[in-house]
Amino acid sequence: MPPRRSSGILVFLAALILAAGVGALYALKAEWHKPLLRLSPQQATVSTATVFRLEAQDADSGIRQVVVSADLPSGAPVEILKKTYDAPQGAIVEEFSLAALPVKSGKLTLKVAVTDASWHRLGMGNTARLELPLTLDSTPPIVSVVSRQHNVAHGGSGLVVYTANEPLARTGVEVGEYFFPGYLERPGRYLCFFALPFAVDPSSVRPVVLATDEAGNEMRVPINVYVIAKKFRKDSINVSDAFLQSKMPQFAALYPPGTGLVDIFIKVNSELRRQNISQLKEIAVNTVPQMLWSGTFMRLPKSATMAQFGDTRTYLYGGKAIDTQTHMGIDLASIINAPVPAGNTGRVVFAGFLGIYGNMVMLDHGFGVHSLYSHLSEIHVQVGDVVQRGQIIGKTGATGMAGGDHLHFGMLVGGVEVQPIEWWDGHWIHDNITEKLQ
């Protein structure tokens, strides 16, 4: 009799443990948390070419199924995407478009359902849902170039004025791999300052107005440009030991200890130069969609031109070529520590030390046009200041990679350095900018 009672207790305990295990397993698999999901882009107007990105995650039981459909005003729902995973996924990313829809325009509701692998609801799982009302627009914007006589020099600037029949989400001018942002001047009318950069072959590229509407539809319209060919100088510069000893220590901390002065020079003149040019482009993003300047830009008074835009320089050390770079501004020499006037009215968007440029001030003149003043010995303005044409912003110097006291003056359009002398020329300003704006 006692053994039988002991056996019954063991059976009872085993059943209890089994029930507890099943209960725990059910509780684990029957969790009731819905998956987390995110859909992008979240915009009201799209085209059939818009690519949506669906991201979802479920850390508990994993994702089992994704269903995306579209409800149209007339007709049955259209299935866009349906995917069931063989094994539950902790996180998924799916991309889809509306290219399969039977309509190309009109209203619709996009519906997304993501279901996990939980045993909740008798094995149906938890479902997270999202509904997004959309306007479908697959018609590209109508763009018309209204400005004429786009005579642009190699390395120089141009202005194009154009209209669009609807608001644009992104617009500007493409020149090969370069993109120059366009700006809304007034409702329906845009303008864009662009360049034929020194680095491109003007015979192999054709500037094009790019216009993308809020739905993502894109239109490209070529600009009739007459290219003015230019010849650029080439010269050689001897790098002396005195120059290396006076200039390279300021950059030595950027490189491993023991790096020789010549090697530092080569790295600064090439690698740091590219980095600084990239920083100029980043700074130039800071602009306002209005014209702050008028008339010609001022040149440093009573100054002589020491180096020109587009000069290709071969640097020699010990009679051997060690580097080649292009000078992208104009060097102006006057008296030592000469007062430097602002070329035109603008906002200070940079005032400080920037690598090869030394102490530098950069002014925004609106619509992506900037002027640059570098190698300064003193800076008399700070970021955010609004300065007037002719206002003294600093003094000339020899900071950065300057071999002697001078001003390196530059002009930038869309963050790209362009020929400065055009902006000193009243006839050029009138023919290429003022007349077009009027």
**Does the pLDDT value for residue 124 go beyond 90?**
no
| Confidence at 123, pLDDT banded by 50, 70, 90 | confident
**Does the pLDDT value for residue 203 go beyond 90?**
no
DSSP 14: H
DSSP 129-187: EEEEEEEEE-PPPPEEE----EEEETT-EEEEEEEESS-EEEEEEEETTEEEE-EEEET
Q: Are 350 and 383 in contact (CB under 8 A)?
A: yes
pLDDT in tens, 346-391: 999 999 999 999 999 999 999 999 999 999 999 999 999 999 999 9
- Residue 4 vs residue 374, higher pLDDT: 374
- Both structure tokens of 14: 């085993």
- Taking the domains of the chain in order of start, what are their residue ranges? 36-137, 143-228, 235-420
| Confidence at 25, pLDDT banded by 50, 70, 90 | very low
| Confidence at 27, pLDDT banded by 50, 70, 90 | very low
Tell me the C-alpha distance between 46 and 135, whole Å: 6
DSSP 421: G
Q: Are 135 and 150 in contact (CB under 8 A)?
A: no
Strand order in the sheet with 208-213: 178-181, 168-175, 208-213, 218-222
Residue 89: predicted pLDDT: 95
Q: Which CATH class is domain 143-228?
A: mainly beta
Mean pLDDT of 147-174: 96
**Does the pLDDT value for residue 317 go beyond 60?**
yes
Q: Are 83 and 66 in contact (CB under 8 A)?
A: yes
**Does the pLDDT value for residue 15 go beyond 60?**
no
Q: Which of 28-32, 69-73, 378-382 has the lowest mean pLDDT?
A: 28-32
Fold match between 36-137 and 235-420?
Answer: no
CA separation (Å) from 356 to 217, 265, 363?
Answer: 42, 10, 18
Residue 7: predicted pLDDT: 59
Residue 29: predicted pLDDT: 54
Whole-number average pLDDT of the chain? 92
Tell me the C-alpha distance between 96 and 112, whole Å: 12
- CA dihedral angle for residue 426, residue 432, residue 434, residue 436, rounded to 10 degrees: 160
The domain defined by 36-137 folds into Immunoglobulin-like (2.60.40)
pLDDT in tens, 227-269: 999 999 999 999 999 999 999 999 999 999 989 999 999 999 9
Mean pLDDT of 176-193: 96
Q: Are 143 and 209 in contact (CB under 8 A)?
A: yes
- Both structure tokens of 13: 């305990």
- H or E element that contains 163: strand 157-164
| Confidence at 122, pLDDT banded by 50, 70, 90 | confident
Tell me the C-alpha distance between 40 and 53, whole Å: 5
**Does the pLDDT value for residue 411 go beyond 70?**
yes
Residues facing residue 346 across a β-bridge: 387
DSSP 306-336: EE-TTEEEEEEETTEEEEEEEE-SEEEE-ST
The domain defined by 235-420 folds into Glucose Permease (Domain IIA) (2.70.70)
Residue 359: predicted pLDDT: 98
